[in-house]
Amino acid sequence: MAMASLLLLLLVFAAAPFSVAPLAVFEPGSFETTTLDVGRRDPSSPPRPLLVTAPTIPGSYPILLFAHGTYLQPNLYTMLFRHISSHGFIVVAPRLFDRVLPSGPTEVDYVAQVANWLPSGLPSVLPATVEPNLGKLAVSGHSRGGKSAFALALGYAETPLVDGVTISAIVGVDPVAGRSKNRRTDPRILTYEPHSFNLSVPVSVIGTGLGNKGKSLLTPPCAPDEVNHVEFYRESRAPASHFVASDYGHMDMLNDWFLGMMCRSGRGPRGPMRRAVGGIVVAFLKAYLEGRRDDYVAILENPLAAPVKLSPVDNIVPYATLAGGGLNLAAA
């Protein structure tokens, strides 16, 4: 009888889903935040209207410059921005079009102009006791904005970055370079050669498993094969990482009220997807901007710690190098 009970108990444990304690980066952080709408008439004279999300607790914080997706607006990402900012980051998101979508090169130049505004303009719009750490600047973006972030780091902007503005890390959130390999948007940064991006800063690419699938037979995918996250990661150089939220779609990290009618979505709520994207961004930035790598390594080694299924997960730098202290992540 005792043996039968033991066997039954073992079968129950074997059938139960394996779970991992969630990491703090996937939950809201400890910093209270504020969101500031900074128009072009503001005394700081930003080159584009901005949405700035920042901690309110006194301190100096790294900056994430974020470019939104095609025909979207920064206010569609406020829940994601608050998650990132609550962990001790300032998120600066310019509005990149008004009534007419700009050309690809113009959009990249807008992002460069905002980057150049940061040293003189950003301190004046933040709470008095909050300081931007311009020595720790990362660029990011979603969809076409993700491509613009890469293009800026690769030097495609007509406006050169001024002294004191240096990109230290790049995060692509389901980046897209066009409608197809033969219909890529300018500037055409993809080369289709492995590790061809001439970048010396760490890169993280977050993709979606449903982005390359149309919502119906009549609608094209929002993140088509050959121009999506897979190729961006393939062309990145070490150190680089790749996380794919396999059950979610191209717009599923946006605010709940945005419908995203043209793109296929996952069946679950968006909250877990936002927490997954926000948590990966936070862990990556902490690792490479601040040298606090435990959360980043934990996600790479055990993706089950994320609130959504991450598959595949890949990293060009071996885990042993990350965990063993042989690589100074903050300086890589």
pLDDT tier for residue 216 given thresholds of 50, 70 and 90: confident
For the chain, domains (ranges, CATH) are: 22-331 (3.40.50.1820)
- Supply the pLDDT for residue 268: 87
Catalytic-residue membership of 143: yes
State the average pLDDT for the chain: 90
Kindly report, residue by residue over 34-57, the tens digit of the pLDDT: 999 999 888 889 999 999 999 999
Q: What is the mean pLDDT of residues 161-177?
A: 97
Helix/strand/coil for 177 = coil
Q: Which of 241, 250, 252, 295 is catalytic?
A: 250
- Supply the pLDDT for residue 151: 98
Asked whether residue 326 carries a pLDDT value surpassing 90, the answer given is no
- Whether 176 and 147 have beta carbons less than 8 Å apart is answered as yes
Asked whether residue 22 carries a pLDDT value surpassing 80, the answer given is no
Asked whether residue 231 carries a pLDDT value surpassing 70, the answer given is yes
Rounded (10°) angle between helices 294-301 and 270-290: 130
Q: Which of 85, 86, 140, 143 is catalytic?
A: 143
Asked whether residue 8 carries a pLDDT value surpassing 70, the answer given is no
Provide, rounded to the nearest whole percent, the portion of the chain with pLDDT above 90.
80
- Supply the pLDDT for residue 124: 95
Kindly report, residue by residue over 107-165, the tens digit of the pLDDT: 999 999 999 999 999 999 999 999 999 999 999 999 999 999 999 999 999 999 999 99
Q: Which of 85, 87, 148, 174 is catalytic?
A: 174
Asked whether residue 5 carries a pLDDT value surpassing 80, the answer given is no
Q: What is the mean pLDDT of residues 57-77?
A: 96
Catalytic-residue membership of 142: no
Provide, rounded to the nearest whole percent, the portion of the chain with pLDDT above 70.
89
Torsion of CA 265, 267, 273, 275, to 10 degrees: 140
Asked whether residue 6 carries a pLDDT value surpassing 80, the answer given is no
Catalytic-residue membership of 250: yes
Query: For residue 81, which of 110, 44, 54 has the smallest C-alpha distance?
Result: 54
pLDDT tier for residue 175 given thresholds of 50, 70 and 90: very high
- Supply the pLDDT for residue 3: 52
Query: For residue 139, which of 288, 258, 316 has the smallest C-alpha distance?
Result: 288
pLDDT tier for residue 100 given thresholds of 50, 70 and 90: confident
Q: At residue 129, what is the residue type? A: T
- Supply the pLDDT for residue 13: 39
- Supply the pLDDT for residue 215: 87
- Supply the pLDDT for residue 322: 55
Asked whether residue 192 carries a pLDDT value surpassing 80, the answer given is yes
Q: How far is CA 118 from CA 164, 221, 319, in A?
A: 10, 35, 35
Compute the distance between CA of residue 111 and CA of residue 267 in angstroms, rounded to an integer: 34
Lowest-pLDDT range of 224-233, 261-270, 315-324: 315-324
